[in-house]
Structure 1
Amino acid sequence: MNAVNAKNSGSSKYTPQKSSSASTYVLGGLALLVIAAVVIGGVLWQNSRTAPRADGYGAVQNPDVVAAVDADGVISLGLPSATKTVDIFEDAMCPYCAELEQVHGQELAQKIDEGAITVRYHMLDFLNRLSPSGTYSTRAVAASQCVAATGDGPAFSEFHAALFSADFKPEENGSTDRTDAELADRAREAGASGEAISCITDGSRVDAAAQSAATGSQALAAAGGRGTPTVLVDGAVVDTQNQDWVANLG
Structure 2
Amino acid sequence: MSESRSNYTPRPMSSKTTYALGAVALALIVVIVIAAINWGHDEVSVRNDGYGSAHDPGVNVVLEPDGSILLGKSGAPKTIDIFEDPICPGCGNMERIYGQEIAQKIDEGKLEVRYRLVNFLDDRSRSKNYSTRGVAANQCVAEGGSGPVYSKFHTEAFTTKRPSEGGADLSNDELAAVARVAGAPESVLQCISTGAKVDTARASAKATTDALDAALGGSAATPAVFDGKTKIDVNNADWVDVLTR
Q: TM-score, normalised by structure 1?
A: 0.85
One-letter amino acid of the structure 1 residue matched with residue 41 of structure 2: N
Is residue 117 from structure 1 mapped to residue 105 from structure 2 by the alignment? Answer: no
Identity of matched residues, %: 44
Shift of 1:116: 0.8
Report the counterpart of residue 58 of structure 1 in structure 2: 52
Shift of 1:222: 2.1
Tell me which of 190, 193, 197 is aligned to 2:189.
Answer: 197
One-letter amino acid of the structure 1 residue matched with residue 115 of structure 2: Y
Report the counterpart of residue 3 of structure 2 in structure 1: none
Q: Tell me, in whole angstroms, the C-alpha distance in 2 between the residues paired with 1:182 and 1:78.
A: 27
SS in 2 for 1:76: strand
Tell me which of 92, 95, 99 is aligned to 2:93.
Answer: 99
Deviating 4+ runs (over 4 angstroms): 19-37
Tell me which of 11, 16, 20 is aligned to 1:18.
Answer: 11
Report the counterpart of residue 177 of structure 2 in structure 1: 185
> What 5-or-longer segments of structure 1 have no aligned partner?
1-12
SS in 1 for 2:10: coil
Shift of 1:26: 9.1
One-letter amino acid of the structure 2 residue matched with residue 203 of structure 1: G
One-letter amino acid of the structure 1 residue matched with residue 10 of structure 2: Q
> For 1:184-216, what per-residue CA distance to the aligned partner results, in whole angstroms no more than 9, with x for missing partners?
111111011222112112212111100111111
Report the counterpart of residue 244 of structure 1 in structure 2: 238
Q: Tell me, in whole angstroms, the C-alpha distance in 2 between the residues paired with 1:48 and 1:233.
A: 27
- Aligned pairs for 1:69-218 (under 5 A) are 69-166=63-160, 168-174=161-167, 176-218=168-210
SS in 2 for 1:232: strand
SS in 2 for 1:246: helix
Q: Tell me, in whole angstroms, the C-alpha distance in 1 between the residues paired with 2:31 and 2:76.
A: 45
User: Does the 8 Å contact 1:238/1:245 carry over to 2?
Assistant: yes
> What 5-or-longer segments of structure 2 have no aligned partner?
1-5
Q: Which moved more, 1:60-69 or 1:228-237?
A: 228-237
C-alpha RMSD of the superposition:
2.4
User: Does the 8 Å contact 1:63/1:153 carry over to 2?
Assistant: yes
Q: Tell me, in whole angstroms, the C-alpha distance in 1 between the residues paired with 2:200 and 2:103.
A: 27
One-letter amino acid of the structure 2 residue matched with residue 152 of structure 1: S
In the superposition, relative to structure 1, how do residues 27 and 83 fare at CA in structure 2: closer, same or farther (>3 Å)? same
Tell me which of 61, 69, 78 is aligned to 1:67.
Answer: 61
One-letter amino acid of the structure 2 residue matched with residue 216 of structure 1: T
Q: TM-score, normalised by structure 2?
A: 0.87
Q: Tell me, in whole angstroms, the C-alpha distance in 1 between the residues paired with 2:30 and 2:242.
A: 34
